[in-house]
Structure formats: structure tokens, C-alpha cells
Amino acid sequence: MARGAVADVSASVLTTLAGALLVGSGCGQSKPSPVQRARALIEGEAEKIWRVAHPTVLKYEALAFDGSEQTAKGHKLKFTFAWDKKDAEPKHRMTLAFQFNAEGSLADQDVEDVIQIVSDDSLVKPFLVANVGSAPLREELKKLIDALPPGADDELKRLVDQKLSARGLVALWLKYRERHPAR
């Protein structure tokens, strides 16, 4: 092998190794965009969101990200949840839009305005049944928030004691998970 070819191969190997080290150490990775952070939060909590929206449906199947749009308040992300009520019935779909601020966070968002129902083809409106039976979610949230150290997240402590709709409770759950990710 000629001396120039050896130098080219050596430079290529060194470049590959340096790139692998940067990626492995996190130095080569960029911070997720606001939309990526918001999307990850919703995707991570999709089943809980769906279970509160349609608590009588037994079989959750899929979540699809339908895109995002920039709004005056930040970013609106749309997701479609799909399920079958029974094996013989066709799939049902519910599309929800989630409003995040420009940083991809729920900070400064009114919990009652975070979730909008875009469409739903089921017989029961999303969150309708949950408005009656949302006590378990409220109790779970209250225990988690009450366990926070004194002075931590006063906003969440104030909100959990308010009379919120099921949509508001889900938004409060998302705010809690955003600030205190599951370990």
C-alpha cells in the first residue's frame, strides 16, 4: 500500500473514532427541539391520556403523531389515538391537540386550555365519563404532589386542590411528569 493511501486510511479511522467518542460522550448530540421534547412527553404518557379520555374502552392500540404547528402561544401538537372496542367493530379514532409554549413546555399554560378535542368518532365524547369518575387520577396526583418537598412546585399543589375537568387533570398530570419524570 502506498504511503498516501495509508495516511488516508489512518485519517479516516481517526475521524470515525473521534466521531464515535463524541456521540458516545453526548458532546456530539444536540439538545432536543421544543417540539421533540413536547412530543416525547405526550408519547410517554399516551396510554394514561387515552384511559382518562375513554375509560370504558378496553383495548388501546396505537398512537400517531399528526404533526405540529406554530401558534401565538408556542406549539400545538396533534396526536391520533386508535382502538377497537370489540374485535368485530371497526377502529375508532380520537385526535387531540396539545398546546405547549415556545420552549416545548407546559409552563405558563392554563391546565384547562392545554388539551383540545379535534375529532372523535366514538359514541361517547372524550373525557365525558372521566369527568364523573376522575377521582382515582385526582387522588394519585394529590399523593404524588403532596410528597414533594415543602416549597417545591407550589403551582401544582394549588392546582391539584382546584375543581378541574378530566382534561384539566390530564394536563396537570402532564405538567407533573414534565417537571418530575418517572424514574
Q: Do residues 67 and 95 lie in contact, with contact meaning Cβ atoms separated by under 8 Å?
A: no
Q: What is the pLDDT of residues 8-26, one digit of tens each?
A: 434 433 333 333 333 344 4
Instruction: Write down the domain spans for the chain.
Output: 1-30, 34-179
Separation CA 172–CA 112 (nearest Å): 9
- pLDDT at res. 90: 57
Separation CA 111–CA 126 (nearest Å): 16
Q: What is the pLDDT of residues 36-52, one digit of tens each?
A: 999 999 999 998 898 88
Q: What is the pLDDT of residues 51-87, one digit of tens each?
A: 888 887 767 788 999 999 999 989 999 999 988 766 6
- Beta-ladder partners of 93: 82
> Over 155-178, what HEC string results?
HHHHHHCCCCCHHHHHHHHHHHHH
Separation CA 46–CA 111 (nearest Å): 17
- Beta-ladder partners of 96: 79, 117
Separation CA 68–CA 98 (nearest Å): 9
Q: DSSP characters for 92-158? A: EEEEEEEEE-TTS--TT--GGGSEEEEEE-SSS-TTHHHHHH-HHHHHHHHHHHHTSPTTTTHHHHH
Q: What is the pLDDT of residues 134-173, one digit of tens each?
A: 778 888 888 988 888 887 788 888 888 888 888 898 999 9
